[in-house]
A and B are shown apart, each in its own frame.
Chain A
Amino acid sequence: KNQVEQSPQSLIILEGKNCTLQCNYTVSPFSNLRWYKQDTGRGPVSLTIMTFSENTKSNGRYTATLDADTKQSSLHITASQLSDSASYICVVSAGNNDMRFGAGTRLTVKP
Chain B
Amino acid sequence: DAGVIQSPRHEVTEMGQEVTLRCKPISGHNSLFWYRQTMMRGLELLIYFNNNVPIDDSGMPEDRFSAKMPNASFSTLKIQPSEPRDSAVYFCASAMGWELFFGEGSRLTVL
Contact = CB atoms under 8 A, between A and B. Distances in A.
B and A form one assembly: yes
Interface of A: 31-32, 34, 41-46, 49, 89, 91, 93, 97, 99, 101-104
A103 B104 contact: no
A32 B98 contact: yes
Interface in B56-111: 56, 91, 93, 95, 98-105
B99 A46 contact: yes
A42 B100 contact: no
Nearest to A49: B98
B102 A45 contact: yes
A9 B66 CA distance: 33
A41 B10 CA distance: 11
B34 interface: no
A42 B105 contact: yes
20 contacts: A34-B98, A34-B100, A43-B4, A43-B93, A43-B102, A43-B104, A43-B105, A44-B43, A46-B99, A46-B100, A46-B101, A49-B98, A89-B42, A91-B100, A93-B98, A97-B50, A97-B56, A97-B95, A99-B100, A102-B42
B53 interface: no
A67 B40 CA distance: 29
A26 to B, nearest CB: 17
Point out which of B31, B42, B101, B103 has the most chain A C-beta atoms below 10 A from its C-beta.
Answer: B42
Please indicate which of the listed interface residues B31, B43, B95, B105 has the most CB atoms of chain A within 10 Å of its own CB: B43
B28 to A, nearest CB: 17
Contact of B43 (A46, A49, A101): A101
A44 B35 CA distance: 11
Contacts of B33: 97
